[in-house]
């Protein structure tokens, strides 16, 4: 995805914003994978 930041506010740190959003997406993916593995483990060991 390409975003034109040429009209952005000069005080906005866009690189830090991108890094934070990327970390949020990675953290969300890891959490979803953990929950899926946990549910599969519960289905296997508790039933």
Mean pLDDT, 10 residues at a time, over the chain (47 residues)? Answer: 72 90 98 98 95
pLDDT at 46: 95
Q: What is the DSSP letter of 11?
A: T
pLDDT at 43: 96
The CA-based dihedral angle spanning residues 31, 32, 34, 37, taken in that order and rounded to the nearest 10 degrees: 180
pLDDT at 12: 83
* Two tokens, residue 16: 């830090």
pLDDT at 1: 62
């Amino acid at each position: 995805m390409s975003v034109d930041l040429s009209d952005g506010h000069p005080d906005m740190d866009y690189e830090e914003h991108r890094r934070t959003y990327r970390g949020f997406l990675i953290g969300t993916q890891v959490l979803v994978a953990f929950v899926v593995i946990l549910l599969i483990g519960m289905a296997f060991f508790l039933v």
